[in-house]
Amino acid sequence: MKAPGVLYRQSGATADRDTTYRALDILDQYHGQATGTFSGDECLAGPDPARGTELCAVVEFMYSLGHMVATFGDVALADLLEHVAYNALPATFTPDMWAHQYDQLANQVLWGSNTANMSSMRSRISRSAGCLSERSSLALGGSSSTSSG
């Protein structure tokens, strides 16, 4: 995310600055989550709240936003950074920060290895990140019926 901003610092070209904002708009439009991040459980996954965001994506996005705030001085980017810091980051760690969850979901209420009513597609991710919706399962080539994994 920070590459166009870094290029802008070197080039001063308006196109490089505009690319940063366009990339943020595209990510939010097609993959945006309520936490301020975007879906990305190994690959970009659309706006379905049953698809997760990796911890590394959250912290890298925060790092990139910090660089963009320093480069552009745009308070809207600082607001987005704060939104991610208060909504996405805390959900990735235990309260004492001694453990973390690899993949979080915007609407996740439980975590564990219960595989009941989960699609057999991507069952390894489903066990750690929650259930895939029927629509997501179909998009991945699964059947409309679910199995216990």
Mean model confidence pLDDT for the chain: 77
CB 120 within 8 A of CB 143: no
pLDDT tens digits, one per residue of 85-120: 998 888 888 888 888 887 887 777 665 555 454 444
Position 111 scores a pLDDT of: 58
Confidence of residue 139 (pLDDT cuts 50, 70, 90): very low
In angstroms and rounded to an integer, the radius of gyration of the C-alpha atoms of the chain is 17
Find the DSSP H helices in 32-54.
none
pLDDT tens digits, one per residue of 20-35: 999 999 999 999 888 8
- Tell me the average pLDDT across 37-66: 86
Residue 133: pLDDT over 70: no
62 vs 130 pLDDT, higher one: 62
Position 13 scores a pLDDT of: 95
Rounded to whole angstroms, the maximal C-alpha distance in the chain is: 55
- Tell me the average pLDDT across 119-125: 44
CB 107 within 8 A of CB 136: no
CB 121 within 8 A of CB 140: yes
119 vs 44 pLDDT, higher one: 44
pLDDT tens digits, one per residue of 63-90: 999 999 999 999 999 999 999 999 888 8
pTM, to two decimals: 0.71
Position 69 scores a pLDDT of: 95
